């Protein structure tokens, strides 16, 4: 493949490419049968833009699972016998650093309004629950637990 080089005002363009290269002064004054010497333009180092670091959430400390087990045991010890049926409701509740339950709601219904209401009442009645471990950050924690009721 032949490349046709055109020289104009100190710059050469290579036909078919959108690249401009400076032509040396000697090449500009060279006779027509001598090919000009091309020098690449100085370029800055080009690098791909840095992607923001994707941080994965830190794995929960083992103490968090142990604490969750203590909270579940505490909730179970506060259960009352219920004669309105059997079922399971999942309750999400917020706990402050001292273990006080500050809010609770049913996130998955048992299908029985009385059981759902008892599941929320259970979290309030069991408050304060064991306080969160010191190595878990945050002023409050959210916990979602299944509450099972059997006849």
For residue range 109-136, list pLDDT tens digits in order: 999 999 999 999 999 999 999 999 888 8
Q: Which tops the pLDDT comparison, 12 or 52?
A: 52
pLDDT at residue 107 greater than cutoff 90: yes
Q: How many CA atoms lie within 13 A of 140 on its CB side?
A: 10
At 144, is the secondary structure helix, strand, or coil? strand
Residue ranges of domains in the chain, CATH in brackets = 1-40 (no CATH), 62-149 (3.30.1150.10)
Residue 102's nearest CA partner among 147, 143, 60 is 143
Mean pLDDT value across the chain: 74
> What percentage of the chain carries pLDDT values higher than 90?
36
Q: Which tops the pLDDT comparison, 113 or 35?
A: 113
Q: Which tops the pLDDT comparison, 77 or 45?
A: 77
pLDDT band at 55; cut points 50, 70, 90: low
> What percentage of the chain carries pLDDT values higher than 70?
60
**The pLDDT of residue 16:** 46
Model's pTM, two decimal places? 0.57
Residue 93's nearest CA partner among 131, 145, 128, 139 is 145
Q: Report, as an integer, the average pLDDT of 20-24.
A: 47
pLDDT in tens, 68-100: 999 999 999 988 877 778 899 999 999 999 999
């Amino acid at each position: 493949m032949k490349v046709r080089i055109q020289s104009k005002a100190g710059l050469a363009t290579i036909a078919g490419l959108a690249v401009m290269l400076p032509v040396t002064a000697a090449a500009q004054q060279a006779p027509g049968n001598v090919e000009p010497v091309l020098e690449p333009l100085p370029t800055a180092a080009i690098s791909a833009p840095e992607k923001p670091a994707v941080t994965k959430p830190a794995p929960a400390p083992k103490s968090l699972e142990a604490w969750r087990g203590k909270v579940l045991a505490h909730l179970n010890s506060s259960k009352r016998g219920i004669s309105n049926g059997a079922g399971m409701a999942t309750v999400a509740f917020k706990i402050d650093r001292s273990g006080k339950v500050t809010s609770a709601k049913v996130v998955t219904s048992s299908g029985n309004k009385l059981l759902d209401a008892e599941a929320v009442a259970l979290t309030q009645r069991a408050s304060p629950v064991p306080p969160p471990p010191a190595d878990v950050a945050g002023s409050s924690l959210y916990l979602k637990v299944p509450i099972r009721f059997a006849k």
